[in-house]
């Protein structure tokens, strides 16, 4: 039996200058999820982030957008998980993914950090445990590793943002299956989606 997700995290950088940048795709997803469930996210000092909770189906789910910078995301996630005694396997992290094209989203459980500093810090703060769920939101790759840092911190052009929004919409639609413990159905549904 898969551990039920009790915490959904959307990764991004804080501050207006980072809003709608590629690196904030995870935070954008979480904000839209919170809106969908009429949940207000408020600054919560002890969790170093914007926090709220909502009932989805029969479950109460915690929402978190870390307001640390991306490379310190684990500090925020670990603080909340520790406070509410949520195991690593009960966490879903939504993040931008260089290895997928815009308009593509994927669920998975476990795996490495793939060079993503937010995932790297979360894994480190949980003592190397990688078994949290991920929602990987494709942003594409600039084609040159040296350009990655500036690429992820830029706003994508309008057509690319529309593709990313399309994948966020479909992830929101597929999410209840994952929350009900049916990872395979959620994965199949999301993976069959074409932008």
Alpha-carbon distance 130 to 114, whole Å? 12
H or E segment to which residue 10 belongs: strand 7-10
* Active site annotation includes 193: no
Q: What is the mean pLDDT of residues 40-67?
A: 95
* pTM, to two decimals: 0.96
Domain ranges of the chain: 7-191
What fold does the segment set 7-191 form as a domain? Rossmann fold (3.40.50)
2: pLDDT confidence band, cut at 50, 70 and 90? low
Q: Which of 98, 97, 105, 101 is nearest to 167 (CA)?
A: 105
Which tokens hold the place of 102? 């815009």
Q: Which of 1, 26, 2 is nearest to 12 (CA)?
A: 26
Position 54 pLDDT exceeds 70: yes
């Amino acid at each position: 039996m898969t551990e039920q997700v009790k915490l959904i995290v959307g990764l991004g950088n804080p501050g207006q200058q980072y809003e709608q940048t590629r690196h904030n795709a995870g935070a954008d997803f979480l904000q839209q999820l919170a809106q969908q469930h009429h949940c207000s996210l408020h600054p919560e000092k002890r969790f170093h982030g914007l926090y709220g909770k909502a009932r989805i189906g029969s479950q109460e789910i915690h929402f978190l957008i870390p307001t640390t910078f991306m490379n310190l995301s684990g500090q925020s996630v670990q603080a909340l998980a520790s406070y509410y005694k949520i195991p690593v396997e009960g966490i879903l992290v939504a993040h931008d993914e260089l290895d997928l094209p815009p308009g593509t989203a994927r669920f998975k459980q476990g795996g490495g950090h793939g060079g993503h500093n937010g995932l790297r810090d979360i894994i480190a703060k949980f003592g190397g445990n990688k078994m949290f769920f991920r929602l990987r939101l494709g942003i594409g790759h600039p084609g040159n590793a040296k350009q990655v840092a500036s690429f992820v911190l830029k706003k994508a052009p309008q057509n690319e943002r529309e593709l990313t929004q399309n994948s966020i919409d479909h992830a929101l639609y597929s999410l209840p299956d994952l929350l009900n413990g049916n990872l395979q159905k959620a994965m199949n549904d999301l993976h069959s989606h074409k932008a």
